[in-house]
Structure 1
């Protein structure tokens, strides 16, 4: 199955799109072009289609694009970096709720330019271009895919408030302790979606945690082995991540974003990064599973009583 998927047109198209982003950053000498979540989005649309992503292709382009411009614009405010990130997180989540957006990568699109302190719109323009291509691919995939029937359940506001507070506290902890390795935007996108999903149990944690943690470890290893080569680091890390997803039999699109993170920020290229991914992902996934168990317990009791 792995070899067949590797040879498939959908995987190769997603792979080529990521390579184009890597090449563009070298040719234009603009590291700001790199948005790790583009890799996750491309794979999550073409290689491992996520049903609720491709159900509304327009959101794949419009939501992260507007979030990227918004996040960059916040850098012009006279606020501390932490206050900008908190403000960006809250406002983006509010707008996602108002416009009923279920696309988790919208959050890292807003937070990454603030975290990196970007003051030009290269990142936002790059996001606009590549997410437009991903949206176009999503329309093609949607026309061929058999999507679940019935209305899509939108998240509850209580769940959204709780997970936003949790993410905000984690970001605050990372800032106070200067542990930037705890800030993992692709993982934030995953957790935001998992926290609202209808079904997420403890048994789903180990495999996903393993994929993300091993991806981070191997990603940093490749980053040091192929130091100075953005293109080859990206090419190898994407391939490694794909193989890991196949071995653990869990497609985790955001893992592809994690694999590219060492390329854009020093802390994410350090050996502390895999530990940060392990801790951040492990804690947040356990919180998701525990909250799901607590929230669903009353419903289960009602069924038993009947």
Structure 2
């Protein structure tokens, strides 16, 4: 509503949908282990992404640099907060140039953090292993591979689909990942992107698109028996992406999810499981 009132698209933060659903609805233990990080880490990565966007670099290489620095921050904080990738990559996608982006990110993540404290689910002190270095290298490797592929097909705008990178980070850190999960995740992400694209085509209102699509995504995930917070980001991302990405958004999401999550499945099948 605030973004609609001020007509400022940089105030729309799709990743907050993933962060909120993951912490308040699904109570993902590895995300809420340190509630303070729910505020600090995404705010830092948003500043990183914003700063990188100001550099005179080719878009695809900005994406790779952002991914490397985001992983570095997560490693420093020993955090598995996957939405940090979305807050770090979104400034590149929307070409953010206003400092309000960082301010709004910090404000909204602070509210989400307060919700985590209120729910009290973080009191579970179960230990979660930090991301291992070989997984970090694998994540960077498949990110680079994806970037080279989109450059080969002259589609640099497909380099960053933030929700897919969010989902990928969680999957790489999982102890197991099978073919059935891979297929359901690809379908879930592609469907969520399609909802956002189709609804926003006919309902140009940012608020209207949000009100209609988020319940649709919830039902869609329930049908496929998937708990995937990143999917909630996709309909909102359809609102803020550039026009040259909009019409191809579901296809871009499908391609990115198929390749990146498919590589993660192969990694688990060959190296982990």
Verify same fold: TM over 0.5.
Answer: yes
- Specify the structure having the higher radius of gyration (Cα): 1
Contact (CA 8 Å) 2:82, 2:170: kept in 1 or not? Answer: yes
Contact (CA 8 Å) 1:223, 1:269: kept in 2 or not? Answer: no
| Residues 1:98 and 1:27: Cα distance change in structure 2 (over 3 Å) | same
Deviation at 1:96, TM superposition (A): 1.6
1:204 to 181, 190, 210: 181
2:70 to 77, 81, 92: 92
Name the counterpart of 2:19: 41
Deviation at 1:135, TM superposition (A): 0.8
Name the counterpart of 1:16: none
Contact (CA 8 Å) 2:182, 2:262: kept in 1 or not? Answer: yes
Name the counterpart of 2:228: 252
| Residues 1:196 and 1:183: Cα distance change in structure 2 (over 3 Å) | same
Name the counterpart of 1:64: 42
Q: Which runs of 4+ in 1 moved over 6 A?
A: none
Q: 2:52 and 2:159 mapped to 1: Cα distance? A: 22
1:80 to 25, 35, 58: 58
Q: 1:115 and 1:215 mapped to 2: Cα distance? A: 18
Corresponding pairs, count? 271
Q: 1:267 and 1:261 mapped to 2: Cα distance? A: 13
Once the two structures are superposed, the pairs formed by residues 141-152 of structure 1 within 5 Å of their partners are 141=119, 143-144=120-121, 147=124, 150-152=126-128
Higher relative contact order (CA 8 A, sep 6+): 2
RMSD: 1.9
Name the counterpart of 2:238: 262
SS at match of 1:139: helix
Deviations 1:64-116 (Å, cap 9, x if unpaired)?
Answer: 10111122122333333333322222122122212212111112211221233
Once the two structures are superposed, the pairs formed by residues 209-224 of structure 1 within 5 Å of their partners are 209-224=186-201
Listed as ranges, the gaps of 5+ residues in structure 1 are 1-22, 298-306
TM-score, normalising length from structure 2?
Answer: 0.92
TM-score, normalising length from structure 1?
Answer: 0.83
Listed as ranges, the gaps of 5+ residues in structure 2 are none
Contact (CA 8 Å) 2:139, 2:169: kept in 1 or not? Answer: yes
SS at match of 1:263: helix
